[in-house]
Amino acid sequence: MNKKLIALGLTGVLTIAMLAGCSSAPAEAPAEEAPVTEAPAAEEAPAEEAVAEEAAYEDGLYFAKSDAYSEKSGWKETVTLEVKDGKISIADWNAVSIKAGLNKEEASKAGFYPMVEAGGAQAAWHEQAEIAEAHLIATQDPTDINYSDDEGHTDALTGVSIHVSEFFQLAEKALAAGPVEQGPYKDGAYHAEEAAFSENSGWKYTVDLTVMFGNIESVYWSGAHKDGGDDKKTLSINGEYQMVEKAGAQAPWFEQAAKVEAILLESQDPTAIEYAEDGVHTDAITGVSISVSPFFTLAQEALAEAK
């Protein structure tokens, strides 16, 4: 009887010891598992850095412009970006006029684009443009903008009522194209005109140029008359300078002038034209019979200040 009690007592002691050993195992598990939970975080850090590096832009200058002038406003939008250390550091939204002269930002600052006074806008164009530019610099992503209508307005930018879609779309286009070199000229508006009115025609030729990102982006060749009134190109467009009807020209003056302007925009060099033997006309531009030397001479004079 005593031997049975002793055996039972030994069995109870072993059982308690086994239970105690089992209950202490979970308490040690966290200490063993801790290194396992920390390892993935340490391993993921380089992957996150790689993604950030992949998303960075190449350092340099970027430029993009609209394909054509707006039929409604006469402006052609432009965007210039500067990237430093992989990030957009400067964003400039601007535009050039079909009549050349000041760019849109300078015209707005000078009060020649009275969007507030004439249109009741809440702020001047250049002030609203600065808000859009700041948004791009903050987000670093030209697609990170929500539009409120098909015209490209947005409710996401406080103080902005102008349509902004073209700015962000051109910024995206510029970044996709990659860095580009600036042209040889200084940005600005340039003007030249003949010294006197012609004794025969009464006209005095004028040339206006707009340089953007170092390149000639807008050209307006026209003329002023000694008696005043509209300029030569405007009269021709309106059918009041009847060179075809009265003189048998092959095309109106403004159409021929546009072809001459296009040559300068393409070559970017007013000295690159080849004249006919008379030194006034050219056979190098199809469909142009008017004298072209006054235009290229004045363009060269105007650009003398842009070097």
Entry pTM: 0.81
Tell me if 62 sits within 8 A of 83, measured CB to CB: yes
Query: What pLDDT, in 10s, does the model give residues 26-50?
Result: 333 333 333 444 444 444 445 444 4
pLDDT of res. 27: 36
Query: What pLDDT, in 10s, does the model give residues 57-77?
Result: 999 999 999 999 999 999 999
What is the extent of the structural domain holding 69? 60-177
Same structural domain, 168 and 267: no
Domain tally, the chain:
2
Average of pLDDT values for 9-18?
A: 36
Rounded-to-integer distance, Cα 150 and Cα 161, Å: 14
Spell out where the chain has E strands.
60-65, 75-84, 87-97, 188-193, 203-212, 215-225
Final residue of a structural domain among 123, 153, 177: 177
Q: What are all long-range contacts of 150-158, with beta carbons under 8 Å and residues at least 24 apart?
A: 157/131, 157/132, 158/131
The residue behind tokens 């009041």 is 240
Q: Sorting pLDDT into bands at 50, 70 and 90, what band is 10?
A: very low
In the predicted structure, residue 246 carries a pLDDT above the cut 70: yes
What lies within 8 Å, CB to CB, of 3 at 6+ separation is: none
pLDDT of res. 29: 35
pLDDT of res. 120: 87
Query: What pLDDT, in 10s, does the model give residues 183-237?
Result: 999 999 999 999 999 999 999 999 999 999 999 999 999 999 999 999 999 999 9
CATH code of the domain containing 228? 3.90.1010.20
In the predicted structure, residue 305 carries a pLDDT above the cut 50: yes
Final residue of a structural domain among 129, 148, 177: 177
Rounded-to-integer distance, Cα 104 and Cα 95, Å: 5
In the predicted structure, residue 53 carries a pLDDT above the cut 60: no
Query: What pLDDT, in 10s, does the model give residues 115-132?
Result: 999 888 999 999 999 999
Rounded-to-integer distance, Cα 36 and Cα 41, Å: 10
Same structural domain, 107 and 167: yes
Query: What pLDDT, in 10s, does the model give residues 128-174?
Result: 999 999 999 999 999 999 999 999 999 999 999 999 999 999 999 99
pLDDT of res. 52: 41
Query: What pLDDT, in 10s, does the model give residues 78-128?
Result: 999 999 999 999 999 999 999 999 999 999 999 999 999 988 899 999 999
- How many Å separate Cα 230 from the centre of its chain? 33
Rounded-to-integer distance, Cα 47 and Cα 89, Å: 25
Q: Sorting pLDDT into bands at 50, 70 and 90, what band is 54?
A: low
DSSP 270: T
Same structural domain, 82 and 169: yes
- Domain-embedded: residue 150: yes
281 burial via Cβ count (<10 Å: 0-12, 13-18, 19+): middle
In the predicted structure, residue 12 carries a pLDDT above the cut 70: no
**CA torsion angle for 259, 263, 268, 271 (degrees, to 10)?**
-110
Same structural domain, 157 and 256: no
Query: What pLDDT, in 10s, does the model give residues 250-285?
Result: 999 999 999 999 999 999 999 999 999 999 999 999
Same structural domain, 195 and 302: yes
In the predicted structure, residue 16 carries a pLDDT above the cut 80: no
